[in-house]
Amino acid sequence: MQRERIVIFDTTLRDGEQSPGCSMNLDEKLVIARQLDALGVDVIEAGFPISSQGDFAGVQKVAAEVRRPVVAALARAKKEDIQCAWDAVKVASKPRIHLFLASSDIHLHHKLKITREQALQQTKEAVAFARSLCPDIEFSPEDATRTDPQFLCAMVEIAIAAGATTVNIPDTVGYTMPEEFARIIKTILSNVKGADKITLSVHCHNDLGMAVANSLAAVKAGARQVETCINGIGERAGNCAMEEVIMAMRVRPDLYPYETGVVSEQIYPASQAVSKVIGVNPQPNKAIVGNNAFAHEAGIHQHGMLSNPLCYEIMTPQSVGAPGSRMVLGKHSGRHALASRYAELGYKLSDEDLEFCYQQFIALADRKKNVYEQDLISFLPAPQRAQPTHAQVAQT
């Protein structure tokens, strides 16, 4: 059975770059854009051209040199922003203008100081102008999840009528919950004229830690584009992490029977490339790409892994391009893991020698965080240390 295709829109170069301390220069943007191309994303949002001359140049460079994916440029719903975005992205083989306007009352009243009626008129004019320049237009009602549903539907309908080909529903401040977000998506698909003729997209922030869950709920409700960032970087607590959405669908096709164009084996290389460019590594326990994502210390877990990796790994490191599983020797490790590590070093221990070394190992592991190979060798009885096996000699 053919699976429905989910469009993966990556905004690492735009929303991700807005993380404090994560800005990128032109050459760095191009490095990441090429990695995103290798990863297989459908859309690269390359930046916000009107924000600076450097960002304009970065978007233009990506648009000119990365030819397979759609390249999008962000703009406010203002003529000068839209023109600037088009000037930056028009050299792309597949250009897109992505424009946004706030829809929630709190943003309209306090930030923009305009009425709902003015917002609807501005949406109509801005989308129509963008469409006169470019055939691929995405529109986002900012802070959609805190917007009156009836007004949200009205704004989306006007954007579609004016020429939007993709409408994105952003959870701008990470406020919504999965059931609620699914309800919003279903409401739009059921009540907005023309909603079945465009691609409905979602863009979730992680302020309450729900960005991935909300994105997946929206996909099940009918959204067909997901906006993501590598390593989940982005404003404040970050954006929906691309690697988590992709692997959730790969690992659980029974619940998420969809396909994407992402080459999962390029996920870890992409994560490493972004980390290197911005100088910020994912936290060690970060799903999929964290340093501990495929590391095991507890004795019961290590025994299970040695018996069959499926006991404690629901995906292989190789499936995301990661180096491999790691057995971390610490105070929670057991005899099976210790024996396996000695075997890797070239020592085959008797049960008696293993017990002797294990007791010394546990005593040392209680006193320090890291137990090194030299420590393990020092535990061995003198005859063992003096007569390494053939495997150990070969390693040397």
Full DSSP string of 212-237: HHHHHHHHHHT--EEEEBGGG--STT
pLDDT band at 390 (very low <50, low <70, confident <90, very high): very low
Arithmetic mean of pLDDT, 282-307:
69
pLDDT band at 394 (very low <50, low <70, confident <90, very high): very low
pTM (two decimals): 0.84
Distance CA 51, CA 67 (A): 24
Which of 285, 289, 292, 284 is closest to 274 using CA atoms? 289
Amino acid occupying residue 91: V
CA quadruple 77, 83, 85, 91: dihedral sign: positive
pLDDT band at 391 (very low <50, low <70, confident <90, very high): very low
What domains, with CATH codes, occur in the chain? Answer: 4-278 (3.20.20.70), 295-395 (no CATH)
Q: State the pLDDT at residue 331.
A: 63
Q: What is the pLDDT of residues 301-351, one digit of tens each?
A: 555 555 565 665 678 889 999 886 666 666 677 677 777 777 777 788 888
Which of 54, 130, 129, 124 is closest to 95 using CA atoms? 130
Which of 89, 91, 84 is closest to 51 using CA atoms? 84
Mean pLDDT of the chain: 89
Residue 231 has pLDDT above 90, yes or no: yes
| Weakest-pLDDT range from 43-47, 213-217, 334-338, 384-388 | 384-388
Mention every residue, 6+ apart, whose C-beta is less than 8 A from residue 73: 45, 46, 47, 48, 49, 59, 63, 85, 86, 88, 89, 95, 96, 97, 98
Q: Are strands 166-171 and 199-204 parallel, antiparallel or unpaired?
A: parallel
CB 389 within 8 A of CB 344: no
Residue 361 has pLDDT above 60, yes or no: yes
Amino acid occupying residue 281: N
Arithmetic mean of pLDDT, 190-210:
98
Distance CA 206, CA 370 (A): 33
Q: What is the pLDDT of residues 165-191, one digit of tens each?
A: 999 999 999 999 999 999 999 999 999
Residue 43 has pLDDT above 60, yes or no: yes
Alpha carbon 375 to its chain centroid, in Å, reads 39
Place of tokens 């962000």: 74
What are residue 327's DSSP bridge partners?
296
Q: State the pLDDT at residue 312.
A: 55
